[in-house]
Amino acid sequence: MPETSGGVPAIDRLAIVGLGLIGSSIARAARRYNLARTIVAVDRDEAVRDRVRELGIADVVTGDPAEGAAETDLVILCVPVGAIGAAAAEMAPHLKPGAIVSDVGSVKGAVVAAIRPHLPEGVALVPGHPIAGTEFSGPDAGFATLFHGRWCILTPPEGTDTAAIETVRALWEGMGANVETMSAEHHDHVLAITSHLPHLIAYNIVGTAADLESATQSEVIKFSASGFRDFTRIAASDPTMWRDIFLNNREAVLEMLGRFNEDLSALAKAVRWGDGEALHAMFTRTRAIRRSIVASGQETAAPDFGRPRPPEE
């Protein structure tokens, strides 16, 4: 876990565009760990800007992209993937030579295609994706330790300035993240199975429950066991963000959905024909994967996923 640095921040002026969960967490972490001399918050929503001022998590708060971009060393776009191209287009003409543009989107190929055409000569693009978050949103949802021990994947296009990549890497490592670099295409395929498909399934299962007749639906909610309850946590994520993710990573998601449907058909066949051996083999294999996730530090082995228990009477 990083400690607050007493030295000179590596980034003189950091602009964060979009102060939701991720953006506000970056602002908090950058301040706590002295990673930027000046933190600029850019958001179109006046209510969000007012709240950011109240929270005191930025030095400059503005709704003007030009003001946010002026003399900025690193811009991190924390807006939904579908809006990222427009945000980049607004700021790009005002960026100084040597500036770096990054983002936090869950899709990388579409982000590179949306941002790159707008950037002037001398401005580097280093896309990023912190694999961290909660189901909550807004500037109050953020916290400085959100990225501790989590992965952040960087997908710089071929030929990107090495110094720019190292600057972005240092920022994320300073916020406590583990950083890995890969191509945008590889990222999108990996995240399609580890993040995008699980969300799609969760939305579908919760939607199925919502479509049940009212009497049954009330019982589903009343008697929610851990499985359905955990699906509802995932399905509570920001709908605009996930709409954009599925639309912008459709090929990889559809490929993984096809594989999932094949495996689901095999499971349905095993259930139908009473093939306990096949079911046991599948459940044993998937249990081992779960243990590997816990062993890698990406989840807790605590009972009930570490949820706090109610106090005993």
Cα–chain center distance at 157: 20
SS3 18: coil
Choose among 254, 127, 104: nearest CA to 181.
127
Q: Which residues pair with 62 in a beta bridge?
A: 42
Helix, strand or coil, per DSSP, at residue 100: strand
pLDDT at position 245, please? 87
The pLDDT, as a whole number, for residue 125 is 97
- Residue 123: the pLDDT is 97
Domain ranges of the chain: 11-182, 186-298
Euclidean distance between CA atoms 61 and 52, whole angstroms: 7
3-state DSSP assignment of residue 11? strand
* Domain 186-298 CATH (choose: 1.20.1250.20, 3.10.20.30, 1.10.3660.10, 2.40.110.10): 1.10.3660.10
pLDDT reported for residue 28: 97
CATH, range 11-182: 3.40.50.720
Strand, coil or helix: what is 310?
coil
Distance, in Å, from the CA atom of 289 to the CA atom of 156, rounded to the nearest integer, reads 30
Tokens describing residue 169: 């890497």
Nearest Cα residue to 108 out of 135, 131, 89, 91: 131
Q: What one-letter code names the amino acid at 43? A: D
H or E stretch at 39? strand 36-42
**Residue from 201, 194, 192 nearest 249 by CA:** 192
Per-residue model confidence (pLDDT) at position 302: 59
> Could you list the mean pLDDT of each consecutive 10-residue stretch along the chain, which spans 313 residues?
56 96 96 96 96 97 93 96 93 95 95 95 96 86 94 96 96 96 94 87 82 67 70 78 87 89 91 92 82 67 52 39
Domains 11-182 and 186-298 equal at CATH topology level: no
